[in-house]
Structure 1
Amino acid sequence: MPIPTNWQLEEQAGIVRLNDPDQKITIALLSVEEADLAKAIELGWQQADPSFTLTPDDSQEMPAPNGVEKALVAAYDTKNTAQTTIALAQLHEGMAYLMLVQGENTTIAKRQSQVGIIQSGFTILALNQTTLSADQRVDVGPELISELESFIQAEQAEYKIPGVSVAIVQDGQIVYSKGFGVRDVVSQAPMDADTQMMIGSTGKSLTTLLMATLVDQGKLDWDTPVVELLPNFKVKDPEITKQITVRHLVCACTGVPRRDYEMIFNAEDLDAQGIIASVADFEFFTDFGEAFQYSNQMVAIGGFAAAAASGGELTQLDQTFAQALTERVLKPMGMNSTTLDQAAVEASPNHALPHGLDLVNATYQTLPISMEFAIKGVAPAGATEWSTANDMGNYLITLLNHGITPSGQRLVSDENLAVLWEPQIAIDAKSSYGLGWMISDYHGLEFIAHGGTTFGFSSEFAFIPEANIGIVVLTNGQYANHIATSISDRYFELAFDQPSKAAETSAYTAQSIEQSLGEIAKNIVPELDLASVEPLLGSYTNAALGDVSLLLSGEELWLDIGAIQTQFKPVLNEQGQPDGYLSVTPPFTGIPFKTGVDANNQPTLTMDLGSETYLFTRKP
């Protein structure tokens, strides 16, 4: 079992205990000879903490790792909303292997990847591990395609995803590409492999590829301090500002937390310079290299640093980045349908519409394309890139050809392509983050991937270099990453004749999402009490998120943040008492707001996201 950086370990009486550096998370690891996992968990708590008397509030079987007979997760209601207590159990040959977790929610959110390192690294040594070699690969053929298409169609129907587009690359060729379903639920226009969809964070790797080409040309160095390229760049700590290099911007290893809502709420005011300025007050959750922390703002700044290195004016970094990416990366790879331009997408006869999930009706509804371009200030992080399965197939060919494009042109050196795939920080015990890529292994073979999600699209892009195969999956549905990933997983299972786990894993993820949304939805009050809402209407402000307005449209309550609007409905707590409001329409489905009053008896709104809490005060 790996020990995360700066965590403390103590072993006593067969129990291993780990504590985070702040002493706010305790994890106990032990084994109990008991085949009934629920009973084993109870026995485990008795050994680890004799004073523990809670019974599980919820227990759920989860997909078991290969060789494990059964796995169970149990959650407990501690009556303290700031605390989390869970138990994980795995059964192997009559022995239950347990992980018991207690901790503060905010600390768990900040150190989620380190908790993941412990969870994924808690290995049962008695298990037989499957190891594969590249020569065991099964080539794409009618039988494999038939199995894969049946799986795609079943997953799409089960989870009501409007459309899916897939491309598979093998030995330098796109050997399969096809669309399933529709481009949008209104027109019912069919999806195909040339339908444009957003790729989301999968586009981060295109940004780091652009950076690699500039390093090849001597215009950039991975260890160049960012302030040399972007003089206005700074974070809260002046010393850390000086230390941050180009590499740090795209490695997810600096300790900068994920603060997406700050870029979304301020989208109308954030261009490249605005994004650079926005991190000036960022504090770091963890030290450099201590924990995986995913920041869209930092990657975007990495893209703007590349734009500056390419010769762009500091006042035109948005345009320079788009131009540099198109001319230096996309066109050479033959990705002619890939664009960052809203007008080009809207003019295309073959583009999909984004679909968001409505919490009240549990159905997908179309969203305007303009909503997907609302956060264009972080374009280098994958916020505005539209592509197709076939275009992304050309990208896959280039990567698997070690930097040689489908037309035979050398785009990037093998050396700097390899730098992108070097692990920089552990995500968990079995995977790491490189420079815009997630690096793991597939039964002993190096496995490189990245997914993406936007307001109304989800994607997955994965390949195994040694086996010379890869797949891209694009979908036009919010919260559909488990579908895209399951399709990718199923392909690799078929490609190496492995037992099918993809459907089970996808079903578990979908069930967890549905259960979470269902728990929220059942507490929604259908009718709005206009009398109680009237005093709340008006404009509010928050130092980090800017100005918002709470307004009535007919008998519906809406929050307007400028580029995006979302409907709110009142919710009840477990005791049936009013407990604030919840966003029920995409793209912000499921965000809670609590109401209150300040010292001047003016109404306030509080948005609590776990790791961050934002208080909005009434504007004069």
Structure 2
Amino acid sequence: MVVMVSPEGDARVALVDVGPATDAAAAQEKAWRAYRRDAPPPLQRTVAGAARAGWDEVVSVVYDTPPGDAMLRHAVAHRKAGRWTVLLIDAQSAAAEKRGAAVRLMMQTLRTHDFTEESFAGRQAHRLDSGRIAALTGFVQTAMAELHVPGASLALIDQGKVVFEGGFGVREVGKPDPVDAHTRFMIGSNTKALTTLLLAKMVDAGKLGWDDKVTKVYPDFRLGSAETTDKVLVRHLVCACTGLPRKDVTWILNTPLGTPASASFRELATTEPTTGFGEVFQYNNLMASAAGFIAGHAAYPKLEIGAAFDRAMQTYVFDPLEMRESTFDYTRARARDSASPHAYDRAGNAAIAPADAGFNNSIIPYRPGGALWSSAHDMIRYVGVELSAGALPSGGRLMAAEHLLERRKPIVSIGANHDYGMGLMIDRQWGVPIVHHGGSTAGFKAEFAVLPDAGVGAVLLTNSDYGQYMLRQFLRRLVEVVYDGQPLAEQELKVAAATARNGFLAEQARLTVPADPVEAAKLADHYVSPDLGALHVTRDADGLRFAFASFTSRMASRRNSDGTFSFVVIDAGAEGFELLAGEREGRRVLTIRAGQHDYIFTEAAATAR
């Protein structure tokens, strides 16, 4: 047995050679007894994964860990012939988020001694002819059916020529309007790549430098302390390498209409890194948001920072790239040919995400990090400029190649052969570089990919939360088609789809809907949090509702194994937020545990709504 411990001692990963066992459940029990000389945590369920890395069977084990424990306990059991090897994760929840990249690296590199990853290095890339295009479009349609995704839009480019752009399915379930290449979707964190393109343009124009201190460019920038603030260079704003933890819950739940762009800077001023610069990958949307606003300020220093960013993106990115369908204006985006967001209803069927208006609106004040609406038609034009290293299809250059390519230099590891640059991920798992980024907002999931060695690129946009489970598999299918790789993507897709659906239904089965009326009656009517603002509780014939600053949702309840009760957001598109009921200093409280932050709502007197 090998046990790996985080520097702080708050996370442990054990690798246990169990030997023979009847099945994964028996193997994980033997592993826990070897690791801590005690029985394993209560088993909730096992989840069969795709056989990979030389293993004949890979099974994830989900445990019943009460939210009050603030722990992540997980196991992955691997079988080769008759022997099992089990990887155990035993970590405080905060440590699991902070050290997530290191844990992923261990999980991804656990392979049998005789396994060699397929590599496309040195192979001839094939052109995307009609047969190969059909293979990719067929894969997307299969994935949509497996995952109950109502609509998707796809675009492909090869050697500077768009060889396919089109749509599949419908913009909104229950309505006939089809998705096409011009249908707008929210593209989430795909936006970051365009934000860093604007930064690169400002470097190219001499308005700032990658290694300038941020306070030189924008003197009002602050992190938690003067010492930390002084270390931050422009490139650090978009590298996910500063050690700043995620604070997404703050803006998701507490962004009322009218929140100004300066909110990013207000939040950052109270945030300190939890790891050293460059030590680990920690994704922070607020830093990316600040990056875009600072780039806009460099372009138009006399404008309010939100207006400056919007004008700079239009002038320096959208207009030169002829991205005429891309906008940060929610009203304009939804005016015509736009997709509606979807998630699963409680039965696992595609349903409109009713949290859309509030939840996705909450991103607008932080828009450089993920609020762009775009189409496959527009995004493939951006991908083409990445492939040409800054050359425009119409002639001339957007910028010098060196400034655009600087964004692709690996800065911090995400996992095995996978690094983060500046708003871009660089994946070399299969021996050739794939420059890409995913995007996620309520009811929308997106991905773009650039294969520089092959001269090929792709954009895939979907209108469902469960589109997430086709994105990685699409990247695999793309390289299979371009390089004649082993056909692994379709089986991986089937496993991912079954895992996602079964996991969702298993969690739904643990909930009481409507919420337990006895427990709901014990709640206060009003709560307040210093970080998340006011929370109003209402009860009616349809059950329990929580009104956050950003949106309102129906709530379910769940009795936890330690006797406590949680209330869980169940409206499609925002589902999953969990609030643990309790008491502190004689007052009722509701606690959200989110990675490295605990957010506490405390019972309060009635407030204006």
- Asked if TM exceeds 0.5, the reply is yes
**In structure 2, distance between residues paired with 1:84 and 1:370:** 32
CA distance change for structure 1 residues 546 and 42 in 2, over 3 Å: closer, same or farther?
closer
What one-letter code is carried by the residue in structure 2 that aligns with 1:156?
A: M
**In structure 2, distance between residues paired with 1:360 and 1:406:** 47
What one-letter code is carried by the residue in structure 2 that aligns with 1:283?
A: E
Offset, 1:94: 6.3
CA distance change for structure 1 residues 419 and 477 in 2, over 3 Å: closer, same or farther?
same
2:88 counterpart residue number:
100
1:255 counterpart residue number:
243
1:566 counterpart residue number:
553
Match of 1:267 among 225, 249, 255: 255
Match of 2:569 among 583, 607, 613: 583
Match of 1:226 among 214, 229, 240: 214
1:179 counterpart residue number:
167
CA distance change for structure 1 residues 586 and 53 in 2, over 3 Å: closer, same or farther?
closer
2:422 counterpart residue number:
435
Query: What root-mean-square deviation, in Å, do the aligned CA atoms of Structure 1 and Structure 2 show?
Result: 2.6
What one-letter code is carried by the residue in structure 1 that aligns with 2:253?
A: F
Q: Determine whether 1:279 maps to 2:292.
A: no
1:358/1:589 contact within 8 Å kept:
no
1:45/1:52 contact within 8 Å kept:
yes
After TM superposition, list the pairs within 5 Å mapping 1:349-428 onto structure 2.
349-359=336-346, 362-367=349-354, 370-371=357-358, 372-383=360-371, 385-428=372-415
**In structure 2, distance between residues paired with 1:524 and 1:57:** 14
**In structure 1, distance between residues paired with 2:466 and 2:245:** 22
**In structure 2, distance between residues paired with 1:49 and 1:540:** 41
After TM superposition, list the pairs within 5 Å mapping 1:112-123 onto structure 2.
112-123=100-111
1:178/1:192 contact within 8 Å kept:
yes
Greater displacement, 531-540 / 462-471 = 531-540
Offset, 1:541: 1.2
What one-letter code is carried by the residue in structure 2 that aligns with 1:236?
A: G
1:134/1:466 contact within 8 Å kept:
no
1:606 counterpart residue number:
591
2:507 counterpart residue number:
520
1:252/1:295 contact within 8 Å kept:
yes
What one-letter code is carried by the residue in structure 1 that aligns with 2:500?
A: I
Offset, 1:84: 3.6
Greater displacement, 601-610 / 455-464 = 601-610
Identity of aligned residues (%): 29
CA distance change for structure 1 residues 136 and 90 in 2, over 3 Å: closer, same or farther?
farther
CA distance change for structure 1 residues 386 and 84 in 2, over 3 Å: closer, same or farther?
closer
Offset, 1:619: 2.5
For residues 555-608 of structure 1, the C-alpha deviation after alignment (integer angstroms, 9 at most, x for no partner) is: 332222233111112223348x67232111033202222223443x44322222
Offset, 1:442: 4.5
Offset, 1:353: 1.6
2:291 counterpart residue number:
302
Any gaps of 5 or more consecutive residues in structure 1?
A: 1-14
Greater displacement, 523-532 / 128-137 = 523-532
Tell me the TM-score normalized by structure 1.
0.90
Offset, 1:518: 2.4
CA distance change for structure 1 residues 94 and 361 in 2, over 3 Å: closer, same or farther?
closer
Greater displacement, 367-376 / 590-599 = 367-376
Tell me the TM-score normalized by structure 2.
0.91
**In structure 1, distance between residues paired with 2:175 and 2:543:** 27
Offset, 1:280: 1.5
**In structure 1, distance between residues paired with 2:540 and 2:210:** 51
CA distance change for structure 1 residues 455 and 60 in 2, over 3 Å: closer, same or farther?
closer
Offset, 1:358: 3.2
1:35/1:91 contact within 8 Å kept:
no
Any gaps of 5 or more consecutive residues in structure 2?
A: none
The alignment partner of 1:467 has SS state of: coil
Match of 2:151 among 149, 163, 167: 163
**In structure 2, distance between residues paired with 1:360 and 1:81:** 30
Q: Determine whether 1:615 maps to 2:600.
A: yes
The alignment partner of 1:540 has SS state of: strand
1:453/1:479 contact within 8 Å kept:
no
1:342 counterpart residue number:
330
Offset, 1:340: 1.1
**In structure 2, distance between residues paired with 1:45 and 1:595:** 30
Match of 2:58 among 59, 63, 71: 71
1:356/1:367 contact within 8 Å kept:
no
Offset, 1:61: 2.7
CA distance change for structure 1 residues 423 and 36 in 2, over 3 Å: closer, same or farther?
farther
CA distance change for structure 1 residues 390 and 613 in 2, over 3 Å: closer, same or farther?
same
